[in-house]
Amino acid sequence: MSDPPLKTPVTGVKSEAGPSPKREARLRKNPQAFGFWQRVQILLASWVGYLAVLLIGRSLRWEVHGWEDWEAATKMGKGLIYTFWHREIFSACWFWRKRGIVVMTSRNFDGEYIARIIQMHGYGAARGSSTRGASQALTEMIECLANGRDAAFTIDGPRGPRYVAKRGSVMLSKATGAAIVCFHVALRRAYIFPRTWDLTQFPYPFSQAAVFIAPPIVVAPQAGEDEQASKLQQVQAALDDLRRQGEEWAARGSKSQKRNSKIEIRKSEKKT
């Protein structure tokens, strides 16, 4: 059952935006140095990516499933840790835009232009990943949550394995008491990049899209290794279940389109 979309303060029409703007918290710049040609490529990729998200994002037709779970997490009052699969970053960037969410992004070349794209859509970027700079990025995200900003992880990033959740959201929840909000974005029509490790989704213009949100998960500050491992299993199970729901939703749409196509063919045959 889809929930009604929310009003956005930007347009005044119904969309996905939510709570009031967050207070500023300090985020460090990327310490990684790039050559001249790399900087040119990053600049071009950033603007192309920003415009692609803007133009295609505006055309998508959204459904929301489980918004009451987002509301329940918000009422806890400790902040939110959005957790999702890396391949959904394009659509997720548009849906949760202009909320001041701080996302952990890699320090490498790809991470730099991705960081700039999401910053232009109203996000913050904590520079680090599970392979490099994670400790500093987590510290910045803890500070941001303490100052009223939410956080986010592409939880199987930066390089996979695909659909395998890492510990970042569990560690951050334990340190802050913030609720982990797992979500999944499903698309009825999208191009899949077959050579990418995550099988990145690029939605076609005017595609139907759906966001599926799971009940919040909170890690107690005194949680030991066993409890943290159990919470990570909960995160994995929630994301797997959301993905299953999304695949079923997308499949129903494909069947409906096929039925409609057959009906149109029959009507045209009768006319002839």
- Is residue 235's pLDDT more than 90? yes
Q: Which of 24-33, 67-76, 110-119, 182-191 is the least confident region?
A: 24-33
Tell me whether residue 212 is in a domain. Answer: yes
Tell me whether residue 104 is in a domain. Answer: yes
- Is residue 256's pLDDT more than 70? no
Number of structural domains in the chain: 1
Tell me whether residue 13 is in a domain. Answer: yes
- Per-residue pLDDT, averaged over 248-269, amounts to 62
How many Å apart are CA 121 and CA 163, to the nearest integer? 25
Residue showing tokens 């040119």: 40
Per-residue CA distances from 26 to 72, 78, 142, 149 (Å)? 28, 19, 11, 11
Sequence-ordered list of residues with C-beta below 8 angstroms from that of 77, at least 6 positions apart, any chain: none
- Is residue 234's pLDDT more than 90? yes
Q: Are 103 and 124 in contact (CB under 8 A)?
A: yes
Tell me whether residue 134 is in a domain. Answer: yes
Sequence-ordered list of residues with C-beta below 8 angstroms from that of 200, at least 6 positions apart, any chain: 86, 87, 89, 90, 192, 193
Sequence-ordered list of residues with C-beta below 8 angstroms from that of 46, at least 6 positions apart, any chain: 113, 116, 117, 120
Q: What order of strands is seen across the sheet that includes strand 61-65?
A: 61-65, 208-213, 179-187, 80-84, 151-154, 102-105, 124-127
Tell me whether residue 101 is in a domain. Answer: yes
**What pLDDT does residue 159 have?**
87
Share of the chain above pLDDT 90, in %: 73
Of 199, 123, 202, whose CA–CA distance to 156 is shortest? Answer: 199
Tell me whether residue 1 is in a domain. Answer: no
- Is residue 131's pLDDT more than 80? no
Helix (H, G, I), strand (E, B) or coil at 35: coil
- Is residue 55's pLDDT more than 50? yes
Structural domain boundaries enclosing 19: 6-271
**What pLDDT does residue 76 have?**
97
Tell me whether residue 145 is in a domain. Answer: yes
Tell me whether residue 246 is in a domain. Answer: yes
Share of the chain above pLDDT 70, in %: 83
